[in-house]
Copies of this chain bind each other. A is one copy, B any other.
Amino acid sequence: MANSLTALRETNRRLITETVRKSGALTQAQLARQTGLSPATVSTIVRELRDAGLVEISQAGGRRHLISPARETGLVVGVDFGHSHLRVALAERSHRVLAEEAMPFDVGARAPEGLAAAERLIIGLLGRAGVSRAEIKAVGLGLPGPIDPETGIMGSSTILPGWAGVDPAAELGRRLGVPVVVDNDANLGALAEATWGAAKGRREVAYMKIGTGVGASILINGLLYRGATGTAGELGHITIDENGRLCRCGNRGCLETLAGGQQLIDLVRPTHGPVTVSRLVELAHGGDIGCRRVIADAGRHLGVAVASLCNILNPGLVVIGGALAEAGPLLIEPIMTVVGRLAIPSAARAVNVVKGELGERAGVLGALARVQTPNVESAL
């Protein structure tokens, strides 16, 4: 049980492993002081960890042994399906990224083709990295759509019409022969920014991904907060305008219908022709007044949602990711302005809204991080 003696040992093993992982390389004496355990205990546990292959020991003058985290043998793969790209990445379990690759991908494709493409891309990446398939221990998979947290089966969605009813984790797992965990792209982005990016070291993060749609995710105590049925953090479907456009979620005037990339694209089509979100941002940076205005308007709508978020959760940090985030201050300043006007003053003062640092890599990286991060399983 959770409180037996063996559990105590397990706790201490984990404590030492964590300490080693964080500090890089330590002697046993340092380890004993940092963990508060006795040198004797440290000695025996270190031996166990060495035998288990979890740490490496090198002599370092005197009786000193340098304990360092083991170059872990297993590798993990992250896969991220975006709206027009498919990205994969290969990393050590310790989160060191070894290789990364992307290809264009049509989001309209059905699940079998998509998964086949992912499989091919992974195999290719492994080949070029000189890594055998057997070394892959787990895969993280990101998808821009709703996933039933119980079953892992995808719900219907207008973004991913050909995927409803399939269990992508099981499917890809069958193809590759390794366990696959699946999650939506916003959750993964949040995880990635908290692990490597703008929210590094923060354990409480609100993240918004503004791409074609608007997704969001909340990390509480470093763990994904999913709520009662796995839809916590759905900021994209907060109602901004009760009489607004129909949204793919079935309601009206959702934030996504006002600030999602698709909407912005539609807005500039008459004057600029068909563009992508990235192109729109480029034009705005280039000084195009129309594109700037469209982005600023989106920021103001986003600000309304962030203000609600501030009143409800009073966050200290909100990270904005996704393609539109590349607009930087053009997007973030309007957000802050509106938050200042709509959120209650003390919450507005407390919050810092920043651009994500990982750009379009957030999804894949998050998939890597997700492989080893458990959920916070609570049903509010």
* A residues at B contact (CB < 8 Å): 1-3, 5, 8, 11-12, 15, 35-37, 146, 155, 203-206, 218, 220-221, 225-235, 237-239, 242, 249-251, 304, 307-309, 311-317, 341-347, 349-351, 378-380
Contact = CB atoms under 8 A, between A and B. Distances in A.
A342 B305 CA distance: 14
Contacts of A36: 1-3
A314 B37 CA distance: 39
A253 to B, nearest CB: 9
A309 B312 contact: yes
Given A227-B347, A239-B342, A304-B239, A313 B380 contact: yes
A354 to B, nearest CB: 14
B235 A311 contact: yes
Contact of A342 (B11, B235, B242, B308): B242
B309 A344 contact: no
A314 B380 contact: yes
B235 A312 contact: yes
A227 B315 contact: yes
B251 A350 contact: no
A351 B227 CA distance: 10
Determine how many copies of this chain the complex contains: 2
A68 to B, nearest CB: 22
Contact of A228 (B15, B230, B307, B314): B314
A238 B311 contact: yes
A327 B249 CA distance: 32
Nearest to A9: B3
A44 to B, nearest CB: 14
Contacts of A12: 3
A106 B308 CA distance: 33
A378 B378 CA distance: 16
Contacts of A35: 3
Given A8-B8, A251-B344, A315-B228, A204 B237 contact: no
Contacts of A5: 5, 8
28 contacts: A1-B37, A3-B11, A3-B35, A5-B8, A203-B378, A204-B378, A218-B313, A220-B220, A220-B378, A226-B314, A227-B313, A227-B315, A227-B316, A228-B314, A229-B349, A230-B314, A231-B346, A232-B314, A234-B314, A235-B311, A238-B307, A238-B312, A239-B304, A242-B342, A251-B342, A251-B343, A308-B308, A308-B312
